[in-house]
Amino acid sequence: RGPGRAVMAKQLWDFYEFFKSFIGDRDMYYVNTNIIMPTTKQEQLSLAEFVGPSTVTFFVSHYWGTPFHHFVASLKKHATLSMQMHQEFSERTGDSVRRSAWRNARYWICSLSNNQWNVSKELGSGDWARSSFYLSLTSPDCQATVMVMDEEAMPLTRAWCLFEVLQTFILTKRKKDFDGLLMCTPSGVLNFPGSASVDAAMAVAERLKTPQEEGG
């Protein structure tokens, strides 16, 4: 449970490619109910355990109502840009990173990493400090929180996402090697200069100006 149930970017991408004709423009609610749960029903496991789990590198915060293709494209873009930055560093140090290295980025994603057959336990049975969310985010292996943003910056209206943002800010002050909150879209990462659209940045600014908190 927790940080040991991340999935690699390649697993997420392969999952999407296999089911994309069924998913279409649908969101995580559809994916969880119609694909993840039927797939894991017999074993009563998380999807991460079903496909082979990894240790978390990035904690993902997101709104389940975002189209799944947008969600996957955003994480692929983040993985690619992160590896490009690592490539630039490696070139300065004489190392090399393959172009396909983005596929090895490891993400903790609640719908894939939590056991959907035992959600109460994943939520810490009422104690948020024992929840898989908190244990994964505060793991020594977690390097940053990656928030998947849409055109309306909907994650900033969800109570659980705001809780994750709060914990991320606390960690940023506590851990020197923690990269904080990274907001990503299919066009780029807002925190990486020149990599994301102006529209995405404006949506975040507007949402921060007039926040409206909704349920998780």
CB atoms under 10 Å from CB of 155, counted, come to 24
Q: 197 near 185, Cβ under 8 Å?
A: yes
- Please tell me the distance from the alpha carbon of residue 175 to that of residue 84, in angstroms, as a whole number: 24
Query: Considering the entire predicted model, what is its pTM?
Result: 0.87
Q: Point out which residues pair with 67 in neighbouring strands.
A: 27
Q: Point out which residues pair with 205 in neighbouring strands.
A: none
Non-local CB neighbours of 153 within 8 Å, separated by 6+ positions: 203, 204, 206, 207, 208
- Please tell me the distance from the alpha carbon of residue 161 to that of residue 154, in angstroms, as a whole number: 9
- Please tell me the distance from the alpha carbon of residue 40 to that of residue 46, in angstroms, as a whole number: 7
Burial of 198 per CB tally in 10 Å (0-12, 13-18, 19+): exposed
Q: 1 near 125, Cβ under 8 Å?
A: no
Tokens found for residue 6: 């991340």
pLDDT in tens, the chain (216 residues): 899 999 999 999 999 999 999 999 999 999 999 999 999 999 999 999 999 999 999 999 999 999 999 999 999 999 998 887 655 444 444 454 455 678 899 999 999 999 999 999 999 988 999 999 999 999 999 999 999 998 888 998 999 999 999 999 999 999 999 999 999 999 889 877 655 555 665 666 666 656 555 555
Please tell me whether residue 209 adopts helix, strand or coil conformation.
Answer: helix
Q: 44 near 117, Cβ under 8 Å?
A: yes
Q: Given this model, what pLDDT does residue 92 score?
A: 45
